[in-house]
Structure 1
Amino acid sequence: MKVVIIGGGIAGLTLANFLIGDQFEVVVNERAIGSPGGGHAFLMHSDGLSVLQEIALRADQVSEQSAEQKQAEPLSDHMTSVNLLPGQLVEQFSLKRPDGKEVQHLPLDNWRCIKRTELTQFLYAKLPASAIRNNRRFTHFIYEDDRIVAAGFENGDVEYGDLFIGADGGFSRVREALWGPTTFVSGRVKEVVGIASNREIAETYRGTFNKFQRDDSGLAFGMIPSSGEELVWFMQYDPAIADLESESESELEAFCRRLMANFPPLATDILDSNDFSTSYIWKTRDFEVLSSFSHNNVALIGDAAHLALPFTSAGTTNAMIDARLLASNLKQMNYPDAFQSYYEQRSKEVAAHLKLGRALRDVFLMPSTFPEKEFQIPLIADKLRSR
């Protein structure tokens, strides 16, 4: 069976890694040329890391089988270092006020801060080059007798297949082609994100996710070391407080410095170390849970299927869990049953993430209405497990 995956981001690459070599021919179609870039870094907890560990193990097994078939020398211990997971361990979360007062402190069990480029490279490296097609931006499906038989792309390429998976992100063209335009709901919060290079800060705060948040309005600054030299940072803000008409590099920097004027010197030091030409404003949004994640022989995974607000720190993990579950179902049952089972299992969890994300957003926008001792930690795992 040939599976055509539209979108070579984390969701699509994860699915390809789980399907390839198990009676499936897989083609990943990516709009970029080469491994996709974009994005900066994110938190991933144990659920997502377990998916990465499975992929690394599968890659080792395939390599070992290939070595045996070729009567090659046994694989050396270097495979262990090759398969080390990307990112840096994050062991604790600290929520403070701008004056430095700590409101919450939470130990984190097996969380990592991972740069998006590192993760995509990790996933790409486990796939044969023949499974990837670049420079393919999806435009339409081709039908025969009311059944989709191929996907068409802007460059004129056409890819035929048996199943088609939309893994092309929150603004999915696949979703729009089959479900129509998506009604997005404004997240009412914007977020400036960037990566700063500062060895001293990265080493000093290694293993800690620090977030400084005002107690009277929606404004926060957070940072997490992503390596020994770099750290990912973000500034979340309520655009009702202040906003930008233009997002030029100089104006974005001035805007961040103005909003961070009364925050700790750490925030200013990080802004001093940041390259604002690579920073951007993320306009948060979500949409209601779809009535299905599939249509005939097409299914959606990741942000194409469900988009939640960033407060839950679960978007990437959700995409990888989607991919693993869908792959497992396809190996065990016919595709209509596999798609239905996938939706039944994931839609409830997705709905819970959506609800929690909006609740955390409301806390962020109106912090004074919530007692500090009841202030919710904006991390998904513990909150969902304590429902």
Structure 2
Amino acid sequence: MKKIAVVGAGISGLSMANYLEKHQIDYHIYERRKKEDLAGHGFLIPKEGMDYLYQIIDSDLLHRHGSFLKKYTQYSHTGKILAEKELDNVFAITRHSLIDLLAQNISPEKIIYEETVIPDDQQNGKLKLSDGTYIDADIAVISDGSRSRIRKHFFKDESMKVVQESEVVNIIQNKEIADSIEHDFMKFHHEEGGLTFGILKLSDDTILWYSQFDNKKYTINECSAENLRKYMLEVFENWHPLVPEIIQKSKYKNVHLWNVYELENLNPFYHENFVFIGDAAHPLIPFTSQGVTSALKDSFSLTKYLVEEDNIQAAFSKYESERKPEIEVHISNGRILLNQFLLPLNQQTENIIPISYK
């Protein structure tokens, strides 16, 4: 039986571990961060992604940790309704909740935190720990994020660029505000383009909010939580009253400032006995809302072929052939949605849902 090292305990790495667990395949996870990562980051998961999650997380348990959004409403920054569209089982959940749910089926001894692993230049196909110890594994599944250091180790000529968009993401627990809105996806847009504020109700007292900035117009440097709060209040001062109220009443301990990167061109999804999944294989612009679903599908597909194929390279090749065409569609859609975001409202295509569908 193959031994697998999974590098990264984010959504893709933990999803992979869950699918491997189902098939009783030996694995171990290595994560360089601390176990508790409470950044205020969340996800929209379309119906297709939920179908994959149901295979590894009990549906009732999953539903208790998030919320189905009934419709998408697009507003001007002053609150005028621009467009409305019903949503088909789109689920909103915090990153922290989804990580906890994915980790519940993984034995603690199968995950090592605060451990950086690197490929060994002297022995091809081997990973080693920070102390120089080699990892005993036949396959390395790399899920260490969009700026994967292991991917860069193998594909030295790759080119990553900064996307013309940054995001601030946070969670607010406030029942009074939550009671004032429906279980919908609300998104406010500045008439000049390049600035939005999104609101997703997760439960009776919890709201996930995020703001998107054209980072050529709005410069957000890495700064303290208090300075970030002051900046947000200044930028969104004259918006619909709900927006500055949410900003004002939020706590900023776990606020997340996200600078977005993308690959100019996709690399191969595997090299020797290393295979890449999720953002490590294909960073997606957040406008697609397909990061979680793509990670789940990568993990499912790769596990399926590892079970079916005795030859590792054949399994990797089939995985790449299945997943790459769909990823290229999402990359294209993400760039279209980004270009729309940068335009003034009167030049944008009407009623665009910020979710990429293949």
Structure 1 residue 236 and structure 2 residue 212: aligned? yes
Once the 2 structures are TM-superposed, how far is the Cα of residue 351 of structure 1 from its aligned partner? 1.0
Write the distance in 1 (CA, Å) between the matches of 2:348 and 2:260. Answer: 26
Per-residue deviation, residues 109-140 of structure 1 (Å, max 9, x unmatched): 11111111111111111122232222211233
Amino acid at match of 1:105: E
Amino acid at match of 1:123: L
Pick closer, same or farther for the CA change 1:228–1:142 going to 2, 3 Å.
farther
Partner of 1:270: 246
Partner of 2:318: 341
Structure 1 residue 362 and structure 2 residue 353: aligned? no
Tell whether the 8 Å contact from 1:202 to 1:229 is kept in structure 2 after alignment: yes
Once the 2 structures are TM-superposed, how far is the Cα of residue 367 of structure 1 from its aligned partner? 2.8
Partner of 1:89: 68
Tell whether the 8 Å contact from 1:166 to 1:300 is kept in structure 2 after alignment: yes
Pick closer, same or farther for the CA change 1:82–1:246 going to 2, 3 Å.
closer
Once the 2 structures are TM-superposed, how far is the Cα of residue 154 of structure 1 from its aligned partner? 2.4
Structure 1 residue 106 and structure 2 residue 107: aligned? no
1:306 is paired with a residue whose SS is coil
Structure 1 residue 351 and structure 2 residue 352: aligned? no
2:68 is paired with a residue whose SS is strand
Pick closer, same or farther for the CA change 1:43–1:161 going to 2, 3 Å.
same
Structure 1 residue 137 and structure 2 residue 109: aligned? no
Partner of 2:9: 8
> CA-atom RMSD, angstroms?
2.1
Pick closer, same or farther for the CA change 1:257–1:155 going to 2, 3 Å.
farther
Tell whether the 8 Å contact from 1:35 to 1:121 is kept in structure 2 after alignment: no
Per-residue deviation, residues 170-200 of structure 1 (Å, max 9, x unmatched): 1112212211264212211111111112112
Partner of 2:18: 17
Tell whether the 8 Å contact from 1:195 to 1:279 is kept in structure 2 after alignment: yes
Structure 1 residue 324 and structure 2 residue 300: aligned? yes
- Unaligned 5+ segments in structure 2 are none
- Unaligned 5+ segments in structure 1 are 58-79
Write the distance in 2 (CA, Å) between the matches of 1:330 and 1:83. Answer: 27
Amino acid at match of 1:120: I
**Bigger share in helix:** 1
Write the distance in 2 (CA, Å) between the matches of 1:38 and 1:193. Answer: 8
Q: Percent identity?
A: 28
Aligned structure 1 segments of 4 or more residues deviating by more than 6 angstroms: none
Tell whether the 8 Å contact from 1:289 to 1:351 is kept in structure 2 after alignment: no
Query: 1:211-222 to 2 correspondence within 5 Å?
Result: 211-222=187-198
Partner of 2:184: 208
Once the 2 structures are TM-superposed, how far is the Cα of residue 364 of structure 1 from its aligned partner? 0.8
Q: TM-score, normalised by structure 2?
A: 0.92
Per-residue deviation, residues 150-171 of structure 1 (Å, max 9, x unmatched): 3222255532110111001011
Structure 1 residue 256 and structure 2 residue 232: aligned? yes
Once the 2 structures are TM-superposed, how far is the Cα of residue 81 of structure 1 from its aligned partner? 5.5
Between Structure 1 and Structure 2, whose CA radius of gyration is higher? 1
Structure 1 residue 47 and structure 2 residue 48: aligned? yes
Partner of 1:71: none
Partner of 1:307: 283
Pick closer, same or farther for the CA change 1:190–1:347 going to 2, 3 Å.
same
How many equivalent residue pairs?
356
Write the distance in 1 (CA, Å) between the matches of 2:328 and 2:60. Answer: 38
Pick closer, same or farther for the CA change 1:252–1:154 going to 2, 3 Å.
same
Pick closer, same or farther for the CA change 1:226–1:155 going to 2, 3 Å.
farther
